[in-house]
């Protein structure tokens, strides 16, 4: 298991590579070029620059989170082939600089979604939370207007203005795309790119839908074991794999995370592990918590144990953390609580390894 840390780049992350390099056991980052729009080719010189910078801090850059998929690919539009070509070129460019895993998602229009980005817990820390009832009352277009005005409560971080303007148009197009059509469109994409991934030795790792259910009536397919089985079988190759995110999948209590790790891990389809804890507060309602098992409803020891059972050799990172000790920053992506998470996960891992020698 290789412990890494997500980094959004020097212009989009308040945390420095120096700080990340000081976290015990963290050996690399999951990197991103935030200014390159979905659908565009990642230029070689930009990847090179990023890699150099990361390596200067004795950290490795072998995972990208994420190379986003253009909506036309998810929609199956006529112009998708050009965007798939661009994606293939990006895979080739990343491969040249030693990238081994690309995390991506196939969630239409809305990426991850929360109803509150800074809910205060009893101890004064702040976390992201989700309340399906709140979300159901929202018209997605209205939600975007709220966001543009900077209103508190609902927001969609990471949404660039062009995408916001496109929203009404996009929502209209998705009216005819159901779950089955999304599978068809994902298969078309994977059939084109996976042979290139095999040649270039870059593994694709789809991130589950977060939360793992339909939002605003738009289908989301990477939601549970059965659908993930379907996805890895769309193209039967080790290069068509998963980012197994405990917090995303775990938001549905029916998803048994250790069992999924055993199932997909023994088939060599987990390339990237995201580990996060949460507490259920009602149906389709949860708050994110600190990583330890005692803080939430997921048993993180059992999750780490499952990774040990399958002899997991891939990448792992602490996922969303709380905002603590007065830290301000990107919700879920502060330094302190994620560093505590990394140390806790490394501690569990050491204990499990030594106990099972
Ligand atoms: Mn995740």
Assess whether 319 carries a catalytic annotation: yes
Q: How far apart are CA 202 and CA 102, in angstroms?
A: 7
* Length of the chain as a residue count: 357
Whole-angstrom CA distances from 288 to 147, 154, 189, 307, 323 are 22, 16, 33, 22, 11
Distance from Cα 198 to the centre of ligand 1, integer Å: 24
**Longest CA–CA separation in the chain, Å:** 57
147 labelled catalytic = no
Residue 205, helix vs strand vs coil: strand
> Is position 48 annotated as part of the catalytic site?
no
* Angle, alpha carbons 83-87-88 (nearest 5°): 120
Q: How far is the CA of 60 from the centre of ligand 1 (A)?
A: 20
3-state SS class at 128: strand
pTM: 0.93
The active-site residue, picked from 83, 104, 131, 274, is 274
- Alpha carbon distance 66, 207 (integer Å): 9
> Distance (Å, rounded) from C-alpha 256 to C-alpha 173?
34
Is 214 annotated in the active site?
A: no
> What residues does each domain of the chain span?
2-110+176-355
Exactly one of 13, 87, 130, 207 is catalytic; which is it?
Answer: 207
Residue 235 contacts residue 191 (beta carbons within 8 Å) = yes
Q: For residue 61, give the 3-state DSSP assignment.
A: strand
Spot the catalytic one: 174, 239, 245, 307: 245
Write down the catalytic residue from 174, 239, 307, 333.
333
CATH code of the region 2-110+176-355:
3.20.20.150
pLDDT in tens, the chain (357 residues): 999 999 999 888 899 999 999 999 999 999 999 999 999 999 999 999 999 999 999 999 999 999 999 999 999 999 999 999 999 999 999 999 999 999 999 998 877 888 888 899 999 999 999 998 888 777 676 655 454 444 444 445 455 555 666 777 888 888 888 999 999 999 999 999 999 999 999 999 999 999 999 888 888 999 999 999 999 999 999 999 999 999 999 999 999 999 999 999 999 999 999 999 999 999 999 999 999 999 999 999 999 999 999 999 999 999 999 999 999 988 899 999 999 999 999 999 999 999 998
**C-alpha span between 30 and 266 (Å, rounded):** 24
Query: β-pairing, 60-65 with 28-31?
Result: parallel
Helices 300-309 and 336-355, axial angle in degrees (round to 10): 50
What single DSSP character describes residue 106?
A: -
CA separation for the pair 234, 237 (Å, rounded): 9
Of 87, 319, 337, 344, which one is the catalytic site residue? 319
The string of DSSP letters for 27-43 reads -EEEE--TTSPTTS---
**Any residues with CB less than 8 A from the CB of 333 and at least 6 apart, and which?**
6, 8, 13, 15, 320, 321
Closest CA to 203 of 309, 303, 342, 94: 94
Q: How far apart are CA 336 and CA 322, in angstroms?
A: 8
User: Is there a catalytic annotation at residue 274?
Assistant: yes
DSSP state of 147: H
Query: H or E stretch including 287?
Result: strand 285-289
Span from the CA of 112 to the centroid of ligand 1 (angstroms): 9
From 70, 210, 320, 344, active-site residue: 320
| 353 catalytically annotated | no
Say how many Å lie between the CA of residue 339 and the centre of ligand 1.
Answer: 16
């Amino acid at each position: 298991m290789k412990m890494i840390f997500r980094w959004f780049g020097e212009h989009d992350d308040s945390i420095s590579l120096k700080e990340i390099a000081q976290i015990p056991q963290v050996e690399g980052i999951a990197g991103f070029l935030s200014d390159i729009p979905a659908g565009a080719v990642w230029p070689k010189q930009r990847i090179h620059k990023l890699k150099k910078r990361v390596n200067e801090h004795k950290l490795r850059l072998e995972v990208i989170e994420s190379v986003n998929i253009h909506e036309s690919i998810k929609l199956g539009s006529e112009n998708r082939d050009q965007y798939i070509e661009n994606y293939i070129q990006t895979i080739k460019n990343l491969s040249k600089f030693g990238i081994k895993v690309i995390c991506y998602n196939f969630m239409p229009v809305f990426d991850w979604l929360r109803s509150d980005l800074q809910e205060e817990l009893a101890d004064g820390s702040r976390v992201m939370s989700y309340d399906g009832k709140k979300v159901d009352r929202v018209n997605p277009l209205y939600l975007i207007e709220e966001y543009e005005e900077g209103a508190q409560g609902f927001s969609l971080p990471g949404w660039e203005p062009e995408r916001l303007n496109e929203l009404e148009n996009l929502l209209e197009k998705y009216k005819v795309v159901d779950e089955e059509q999304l599978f068809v469109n994902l298969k078309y994409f994977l059939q084109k790119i996976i042979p290139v991934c095999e040649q270039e030795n870059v593994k694709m790792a789809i991130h589950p839908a977060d939360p793992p259910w339909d939002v605003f009536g738009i289908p989301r397919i990477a939601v549970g074991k059965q659908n993930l089985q379907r996805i890895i079988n769309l193209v039967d190759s080790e290069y068509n794999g998963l980012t197994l995110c405990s917090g995303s999948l775990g938001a549905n209590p029916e998803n048994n995370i250790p069992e999924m790790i055993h199932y997909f891990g023994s088939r060599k389809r987990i390339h990237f592990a995201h580990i996060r804890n949460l507490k259920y507060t009602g149906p389709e309602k949860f708050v994110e918590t600190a990583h330890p098992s005692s803080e939430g409803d997921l048993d993180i020891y059992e999750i780490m144990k499952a990774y040990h059972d399958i002899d997991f050799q891939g990448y792992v990172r602490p996922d969303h953390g709380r905002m603590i000790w007065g830290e301000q920053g990107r919700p879920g992506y502060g330094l302190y609580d994620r560093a505590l998470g990394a140390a806790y996960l490394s501690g569990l891992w050491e204990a499990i390894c030594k106990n099972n020698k």
